[in-house]
Amino acid sequence: MVNADNSIVVEGLVREFKKGPRAVDGIDLRVEPGEIYGFLGPNGAGKSTTVLMLTTLLPPTDGTAKVAGYDVVHEGPQVRSMIGAALQEAALDNLLTGRDHLRLQTMLQGLPRKERKARGEELLIRVGLTEAADRKVGGYSGGMKRRLDLALALVHRPRVLFLDEPTTGLDPQSRTALWDEVARLAREDGVTVFLTTQYLEEADVLADRVGIIDHGRIVAEGTPAALKAEIGRPSVHAIPERETDRARIASLLAQFGDPLGDGDLAVRLHGGYGLADVVRGVDAEGLALHDVELRAPSLDDVFLAKTGRTLEGAAEAEESAPQPAG
């Protein structure tokens, strides 16, 4: 039963829904023990469907996946004993208190009686909910619910942790607190973390490696730094002083780089050009800019380069069409 392998290995994983598109369309990935893997993509890209399959809650249509060394299809109980999961929308019972939830979870996870209370208290302290422990969860803020959700996922000391958009809807302070705790779990306790997110910053700050998924396929994978380096060149973003100059400025910018689209006056600079070249060119044409900015490549640029659209634009497009679970 005990297995030292905390990795996640996925090969050709597919999930088709009846009368729907392939929510997950043949993905391959490997997450090393103790690694934080950020699974980045817009709503409807296939992130949550992947998590449901890896957590044994949804059988794959095709392909294989091993979590902590166990096959998710044929060794479901073993997988579940090794993983913790905080799925999208903290599924809590508003009529129970935080302490009730931990009591329930420690009992259902089979912890010995004498260890239940201590483990519950330890986790309440860890997620900063000791004072609120005897309040009904219905009165908790979104951040408190997410922290309790994380505590519940950790009750049985899992080796692999799945977090499905854990900070969606949280205020910046709660988000940062959760990031710190997740990072600590990986660094100090060696827990492997599979984290889905639609926030670029979250993936950038937290993940050791990032997989970018779009329309059920992984379109890019690597460390955030390596992915950004792959894009390589910075971009220039301009705002014209006079709107009537927009077309002329766009034409001028195109001489220095490849337009980024999405209606912005922005180009990915060709090699050898810098911001000063752009500014001098604008001056030489007698044009005026309200603002001009040089931006280092971001994960959004990576997404744009790989899919032809920005993450935000993709999210809006996906939301306008009916989709299976994200």
The binding site for other proteins (CB under 8 A) comprises 2, 6, 55-59, 72-74, 76-77, 79-81, 83-85, 87-89, 91-93, 95-96, 100, 103-105, 107-113, 115, 136, 152, 154, 156-159, 185, 189-191
Angstrom distance (rounded) from CA 213 to CA 322:
18
Q: CB under 8 Å to 167, separation ≥6 — which residues?
A: 146, 174, 175, 178, 179, 197, 199, 202
Angstrom distance (rounded) from CA 33 to CA 107:
28
Angstrom distance (rounded) from CA 287 to CA 294:
18
- Nearer Cβ to other proteins, position 84 or 297? 84
Cα dihedral across residues 307, 313, 288, 236: positive or negative:
negative
Supply the minimum distance, in Å, between the C-beta of residue 115 and other proteins.
6
**Per-residue tokens: 158:** 């899992």
Supply the minimum distance, in Å, between the C-beta of residue 172 and other proteins.
26
Could you identify the residue written with the tokens 């044994």?
A: 56
Pairing of strands 265-269, 257-259: antiparallel
Supply the minimum distance, in Å, between the C-beta of residue 29 and other proteins.
19
Supply the minimum distance, in Å, between the C-beta of residue 110 and other proteins.
5
Supply the minimum distance, in Å, between the C-beta of residue 88 and other proteins.
8
DSSP state of 178: H
Supply the minimum distance, in Å, between the C-beta of residue 25 and other proteins.
20
Angstrom distance (rounded) from CA 299 to CA 304:
8
Supply the minimum distance, in Å, between the C-beta of residue 260 and other proteins.
38
- Nearer Cβ to other proteins, position 28 or 89? 89
Task: Answer whether 54's CB lies under 8 Å from 67's CB.
Answer: yes
- Nearer Cβ to other proteins, position 89 or 293? 89
- Nearer Cβ to other proteins, position 76 or 259? 76
Cα dihedral across residues 84, 55, 313, 270: positive or negative:
positive
- Nearer Cβ to other proteins, position 157 or 270? 157
- Nearer Cβ to other proteins, position 72 or 252? 72
Angstrom distance (rounded) from CA 101 to CA 153:
11
- Nearer Cβ to other proteins, position 104 or 239? 104
Task: Answer whether 207's CB lies under 8 Å from 224's CB.
Answer: yes
